[in-house]
Structures are given as C-alpha cells and as structure tokens.
Amino acid sequence: MTHPKPISRTRVTVKDLARDLGMSVSTVSRAFYPEAVIAADTRKAVLDHAAKIGYRPNPFAQSLITKKTKIAGMVVSGLTNPFYPEVMTRLTALLQQAGVNLMLAAAEQPEKIDEAVELLLTYQPDLMIVLATNLDSRAREKCEAAGAPVIFFNRLSADGLGYGVSCDNVEGGRMAADHLIDRGHRSLAYVSAFPGASTNVERQRGFCDRAVARGLPPPQIIDAGVFSYEAGYAAGLRLRELPQQPDGVLCANDIVAIGFIEALQEGLGISVPADVSVIGYDDIAMAGWPSHRLTTVAQPLDEMMAATVALARELAAERQIPQRVLRIPPGPLVERRTVRDRRVQT
Amino acid sequence: MTHPKPISRTRVTVKDLARDLGMSVSTVSRAFYPEAVIAADTRKAVLDHAAKIGYRPNPFAQSLITKKTKIAGMVVSGLTNPFYPEVMTRLTALLQQAGVNLMLAAAEQPEKIDEAVELLLTYQPDLMIVLATNLDSRAREKCEAAGAPVIFFNRLSADGLGYGVSCDNVEGGRMAADHLIDRGHRSLAYVSAFPGASTNVERQRGFCDRAVARGLPPPQIIDAGVFSYEAGYAAGLRLRELPQQPDGVLCANDIVAIGFIEALQEGLGISVPADVSVIGYDDIAMAGWPSHRLTTVAQPLDEMMAATVALARELAAERQIPQRVLRIPPGPLVERRTVRDRRVQT
DNA sequence: CTGAAAGCGCTTACAG
DNA sequence: CTGAAAGCGCTTACAG
C-alpha cells in the first residue's frame, strides 16, 4: 500500500559544479563547448572537477535550448532477414561512439510502423534511419517536418526521396549474371522478393539486362513476394510452373535463396548445383554454414555503415549534403557450392 | 560554404494552445494529466484543439520536472542467437504501445557494453532491459544509482540481483531428459554454452539431475563455450573425444544444436537421429525449417514478453515490486525429426 | 574572459 | 476549478 519509493535521483548539476568551483554557471557551461570562449585553465578546472564528481550535462535541458537531441531514430520492422540484426547492433555501436544514441521505432507489420514513428518523433530526433522496411511518403514528410531528415539504409525510399546509403545493386545483379553466363548457364531465372524494394528491383534489372545484353533470352521471373525464408521456399516449390526449367538463378537475397534451394532439394528432388545453380545476395553468416555454402554477392557492409555514420554526422550538424544517395560498389561474389560450372570441357 | 540551413523546427507549444483557447498554460497542461483537477469540458476543449493543431507535450521539458523520461534502455550485444532480434522488435512494439520508447545500447563485444550503457544513462531512462548479454555488477549498480532499475530478459543476472523474467529452464531441462529417457535413450550428454549464463546452467542442471534421478549415469558435458552456430559446430566436431558416444543430447539452445547437428552429419558422418538424438531449446523459426526440423523445448515467448512489459510499467511507475524474478513455465517440447524412439519394439 | 539575466517548454505548489 | 509564479538544468546573447 505504500507506493512512494525513495529513489535518490539526485543528479549532479551545473550549479553544484559552479558552487564547488566558485564560478558562475555560465562559465561552467562554456567549458563543455570547444568553440566557446573561455580561459584554458578555467576549462581544465571545470572538466577535471566534473570528471571527479561524475557530472554529465543533462541532454534534455540542453536540447530544450539547442534544439538538437543527439538522438537518431531507427525504424525497423519484420526483420525476417538475418542481415539486419547485425546491421542494427553495429550501426548502433558506431553511432554511439560518435555520441548519438539510437531510439527504436518497431512494429511487426510494416503498416503499423507509422504510429511508432509518430511516438518517436516526440523526442525530436536529429535524424531517422530506416532499416528493413519502408516509410510511406507521408511518414517521411512528417519526420522531415519535425526536423529529422531520414536515411534509408540498404533499401532506398520507394519515392526516391530522402537520403540513402546502398550497395550498387544493379552492378551486383550484373555480376551474378556474368558469373553464371561465364560458367555456361544458358537459361536464367530471377527469384524476386518485395516488388516495392529498391534492392529487389535493382538486382533484377542488373541481372536481366546483362543476360539480354549477352545474348540470352530474358530471365524468367519467379515471384517470392517478400524477403523471407518461407517466401523463398514457397517460390522454390513453384519452379515446375515455369515454361522452361532454368539452369541458373539469382535470388533477391540470401535468405530467399536458402529457402528456395531447400524447396528444390527437399520438396522437388532437384539438385543444387547439379541440376540448377543458385546465387544469393548479402553474404549473411548463414550463407557460409556447411548446410548451405551459398554462392552469393557480398554486401560491402563496412563501407555502407561507415557511409551511414558519416552521413548521419553531417545531417546532425545540419550541413548541406551534396549527394542524397550514396552508392557503394558491391562486395565480391563469394564462390561456394551452389553454382556449377556447366561449360563443356575441351 | 553556407552552412546554416533553415529547418522549420517550429514546434507547437503549450503557449500556442493557451493563446488559441484563451486559457493559462497551467490549465492547458492539466488537461493532459488524467489525475489533475480540471473541468471536464475544459479538458475536452484543450484535447480537441491539441489534436487539431498537432500538439504533443515535449517530453524533455516534461521530464525535467517529473524526473521520468518514458525511456527504457535496451542493452544488447553479440546477437549470435536469432532468438533475440524477434524479441527486440516485439518488445519494442509492445513497450511503445504502452507509451515508452526504447533507446539502444549496443556493442559487438560484451566487454565494451559498459561505456555504451554509460552514454545511455545520460538520458535518464526509467528502466533498463538487458538482452542477450550480461551487465557486470558495477554497471548494474550504476544504472540503479541513476534511478534505472534493470530487468534481465531470458538470461538472468550472474549475481542474482536486478529484476528478471525468464523461462523455468530447470524444468525445461527436465522435460528434455524425460523425453529422451522415455524414448529409450540411456547415455546422455549436454552441450553447454556460456557458463556464466543462467539459461545454460539451469538447463544443464535440470537435464542432468533428472537423468540421475531416473537412474542414468550423469550426462557427459561437451562445452561449446558460447551461444552460437559456430560454437555448436565446433562442439559437434569434438563428439568423438567423449569416453562414450551418447545416444541422446540436449544442447544449450537451438542455434548451438543446429551447429552441433551439422558437425555430426557433415563433419563426422554421424546420423541424427539414427545414431544420436538431439534436442534444442528456444524453438526459433529456423528450428522448423525443413533442413533442420529440430525437436526442441519452446520458450513461452508471449508470456515472457507480457511479463516484461507489465514489470516495466510497474517499475516505471515506481511501485514496489514484490517479486524480483518472474519464472514462466517452459513452452511445450516440440517434436520434430531429431529424436528417435530407441525403445525395443515388443 | 566572466557573470547576471532571460528563456527553452513544461509542471506544480500556492492562492484565489 | 483556474491562473500567476517559480523552477527543472541547461545555453546564450548581452554587458562589463
């Protein structure tokens, strides 16, 4: 029945510092801003004492005045692709090192992401990072209206607006086509995932255009619908519906490829790579597991994350950004066991 | 060269509302607190107009006074277990629905998590939720000193302090032992993961104690070291080092079990379940995939998350919590294809 | 180079 | 039931 619990939330404030050091709070405050005019030894005294008594400026009070929060919003949904959890942790760690904290907006269904974003916006994030999902134009505009530019990571905005960091997926698609064609494949197919995802359409375009450019018939398309194991599996089960069985296929990403291959082997009794070669995209950890050993186009993750952090810092500092979308060349095509060399030996 | 960019961060404030409605800011403010004394129609007028002009109280200004932030810190690391990404998204979504936002503290190595937590603490979270990693006593105390009680999800605190929500892992271990013994297994083994993780030691204890209680020799232990596919795989490769080959094994969790099984089959040529039966723990999505079809003890995820949210709300409201650690009975043992019935047919 | 003052957007005693 | 005032912990013109 006795609710109130005495928690000692007695925070150390500028006043304490000022009192201890016999200075004004203005002076104390200035010590924490490198660009502020203040005597070097005064600053040192403040900083030293602050460290000693464990003082840290209250970011809420700060942002009430500066209008910057050092908060980045991270929008996620679904996460059926194991590619993202790693991105999340690493990006968070990197951004934290740069002094910006991440606040999450999550929803299981992409449709419900909007209200999560709305709630997050309340905290006036300096910017938003969108992962593994999309934000419709209205939501993006709301973010921007609230002073938070949005960065789309990996998957770009459907309407082409907002900032973006992405692998050159068209080139990645071409690499996959070349790899297959160079090894004697003559009948290609592409397993597409979410049609609204830039990653999907770009990979498809690079793959198909290159195939045609090199004299092959346009690759057949199998539509998996979304980026998930289950979707890849279901797509694999429908392989026989194709007018002609392909000998080489590129899947929209690794997790789709893994599901696709299993459906072929367990469901249809079609052997990979003996009967058909399969290439994935991302190079997630699982792709290297003995059970899969998937040949795949690697994503240049380190570069993509570094670019994102750099972009985030520019945006947070409200600098002008010359280029809205950063394209990183795809990582290497990692050869494992799911592609067979079909050239006739001479 | 022209840095300053005119962003219209013109937020709607209480003043705007007060002016529009011809009231004082005090009255306007009260409208947002259900327990405040204010005329019903006054409140309605405020709320209506607020909705119309899109006013939302500034949480920073609020928490400067109330000392509550509606922020929960979420501490993650590693994430080599696919169990956690789902927990993260769903927990975030649930908590957001309850009006609390999640701020992330992440580090790739568990050792580096401390400074991430420190930075997060700056934002005065109402509570902390620890996922997939541990917080040493010092870090936990720092959180509590900053007014943020910490909840350990799934894996409990090593020192037994802090709040916790967890499956009854001892019982889960027993269930696995019973399942194996009931089906004629006579030589058991346990593949352990991180020895500092409560999940690991509890599952091991339940499993081993039950085996002994039912008259079997104590299960042999294979130490995988951590909760990851790679660790499980490496452990599997060492099966032959055991004095006696077991016929039934429980792995610390699913991802370890999956790695373990693959090592047996691909590396050692030992068939699962023909030669040895394997049980996992968690029932992650992957456990149901055709390539694995892992028999496993399911975690009661829904209940665990609901309990966490309830606990978080109590804690955020600074109510007294009678029970520090909540134990949820384990989910059912899901039978798939990795356990064989070894009873002699009669 | 430093300090006194104003103010960010709120909430909460205190009067009335 | 409502309003004027004080204050949360800061930063930032403005004087000096």
Any domain includes A4: no
Looking at the complex, report in whole angstroms how far the Cα of residue B76 sits from the nearest Cα belonging to chain A.
8
Residue B14 CB lies within 7 Å of the nucleic strand C? yes
pLDDT tens-digit series, residues B318-336? 777 777 899 999 989 999 9
In a domain, A9, yes or no: no
Residue B112 corresponds to which amino acid? K
Same domain, A155 and A184: no
Mean pLDDT of A314-328: 83
Is A338 part of a structural domain of the chain? no
Rounded CA gap, B219 and B212, in Å? 8
Question: How many domains are contained in chain B?
Answer: 3
* Within-domain flag for B62: no
pLDDT tens digits, one per residue of A290-318: 989 999 999 999 999 999 999 998 888 77
Here the CATH number for the domain that contains residue B313 is: 3.40.50.2300
A341: in domain? no
- Same domain, residue pair B130 and B113: yes
Per-residue model confidence (pLDDT) at position B2: 32
Domain boundary pick from B299, B320, B337 = B299
Same structural domain, B198 and B78: no
Q: What pLDDT was estimated at residue A317?
A: 77
Which of chain A's residues 43-82 bind strand D, using a 7 Å CB cutoff? 55-58, 61-62, 64-66
* Closest among B181, B188, B143 to B162, alpha carbons compared: B143
pLDDT exceeds cutoff 60 at B255: yes
Does B162 lie in the same domain as B79? yes
CA closest to D10 C1', residue: A61
Question: Shortest CA–C1' contact from A21: which nucleotide?
Answer: C2
**The whole model's pTM is what?**
0.90
**Which residues of chain B have a CB within 8 Å of the CB of A318?**
3-5, 7
Percentage with pLDDT > 90 across chain A: 74
- Answer whether residue A7 is part of any domain: no
> Is residue B269 domain-shared with residue B245, that is, in the same domain?
yes
Do B162 and B174 have their domain in common? no
B338 touches strand D (CB under 7 A): no
Q: Give the CATH number of the domain where residue B27 resides.
A: 1.10.260.40
Chain centre distance of CA A33: 32
pLDDT over 70 at A10, yes or no = no
Nucleotide nearest to B66 (CA to C1'): C11
Query: B residues 196-215 near A, CB within 8 Å?
Result: none
Residue A253 pLDDT greater than 70, yes or no: yes
Q: Are residues B106 and B188 in the same domain?
A: no
| B10, B101, B318, best to mutate vs chain A, most A CBs in 10 Å | B101
**B151 and B233 fall within a common domain:** no
Averaged confidence pLDDT in chain B: 91
- CA→C1' distance for A30 and D11 (Å): 9
For A266-292, give the DSSP string.
Answer: III---TTTT-EEEEEE--GGGGSTTT
pLDDT at A321: 76
The answer on B256 and B283 residing in a single domain is yes
Which residue reads 């900053």 in tokens? B146
Q: What is the Cα–Cα distance from A75 to A110, expressed in whole angstroms? A: 10
Identify the domain containing residue A270 by its residue range: 169-299
| A193 contacts A253 by C-beta, under 8 angstroms | yes
- Confidence at residue B345, expressed as pLDDT on a 0 to 100 scale: 67
By Cβ distance, the residue of B67, B88, B262 closest to A291 is B262
CA B293/CA B265 separation, integer angstroms: 14
Give domain status of residue A23, yes or no: yes
Identify whether B336 is part of a domain: no
Query: Are A77 and A179 in a shared domain?
Result: no
In angstroms, the CA of B143 and the C1' of D11 are apart by: 27
A13 has a chain B CB within 8 A of its CB: no
Do residue A291 and residue A314 come from a single domain? no
- Measure Cα distances from A189 to A13, A87, A276, A318, B258 in Å: 64, 29, 10, 45, 31
- Are A229 and A86 within one domain? no
Tokens of A18: 């000022």
What would the pLDDT profile of B187-226 be if each residue is shown by its tens digit? 999 999 999 999 999 999 999 999 999 999 999 999 999 9
Query: Are A119 and B99 an interchain contact pair (Cβ–Cβ within 8 Å)?
Result: yes
Please give the pLDDT value at position B99.
Answer: 86
Burial class (CB in 10 A: 0-12, 13-18, 19+), B15: exposed
